[in-house]
Amino acid sequence: MAFSPEENRRYARHLVLKGMGGGGQQALQRARVLVIGAGGLGSPAIAYLAAAGVGTLGVVDNDSVSLSNLQRQIVHRTHTIGQAKTASAVAFASALNPHVAMVAHDVRIDGGNAQTLVDDYDLVLDGSDNLETRRAVAAACEALGRPLVSGAVGMFDGQLTIFAPHLHRADGSAAPKFTDLYPEEAGDDDLPSCEANGVLGPLTGVIGTLMAMEAIKLITGIGEPLIGRVLVYDSKGARFSEFSF
């Protein structure tokens, strides 16, 4: 899979990067990635995956852009207020990198359509804001054997992990499932609401960008992905911590 002269210039810093190179960039070009939510977490993930040259990038969201989104949802603009978030995100990513095939799924993902949506992709990133959606996405990914990069934020703190029970941890042990971290009895009332409690804008950029990083690692085989590990970021204390589950 040869790159055009323009693509060689566009991806030059990847092509000379030891461990990435042409093989890694070609893996990105072949990849099909689905991002759930074009909001605070989805925005930076979409931006960096598009910039990196992911071949096909799908975006699922049934919401429209509002003024309060613009404090943190960086793929949207003031002039896109009122537009579907999928259309706004696709326009941003296409302008950033026309070599990426963008697919807008202007629907609400749930247990009834999750498998159909996920089945067309190799990898999923979930930046949704409720456990009902997260459970539906995780169940579909588990059933289809797709890795799931999951991020969450609230107020000043964020976290991310990878659910891939069809794979293994670095030590060879079985990778955990979504229900190992979020038991069935857990509900949205147990989690802080960004609408009610707020969220620091750049925090979503930190976690969303790390989600894109983990996705690129999974696609290219670089490094050790966060399978069975949760990375936690405390923005007020400027500290990262980690725990296994």
For residues 205-228, give the mean pLDDT.
97
Is 80 exceeded by the pLDDT of residue 42?
A: yes
The residue ranges of every structural domain in the chain are: 31-244
What is the average pLDDT value for the chain, to the nearest integer?
94
The pLDDT tens digits for 107-164 are 999 999 999 999 999 999 999 989 999 999 999 999 999 999 999 999 999 999 999 9
Fold classification of 31-244 (topology level): Rossmann fold (3.40.50)
First to last CA, the chain: 39
Q: Which pTM was predicted?
A: 0.94
Q: Which amino acid type is present at position 145?
A: G
Is 70 exceeded by the pLDDT of residue 189?
A: no
Query: CA geometry: angle at 93 spanning 7 and 101, to 5°?
Result: 65
Is 141 annotated in the active site?
Answer: no
- What are 158's strand-pairing partners? 153, 233
Note the pLDDT of residue 83.
Answer: 98
Is the CB of residue 218 less than 8 Å from the CB of residue 147?
A: yes
Give the tokens for residue 114: 């999750």
Of 194, 222, 230, 232, the catalytic one is: 194
The pLDDT tens digits for 2-23 are 899 999 999 999 999 999 999 9
Residue 171 confidence class, pLDDT cut points 50, 70, 90:
confident
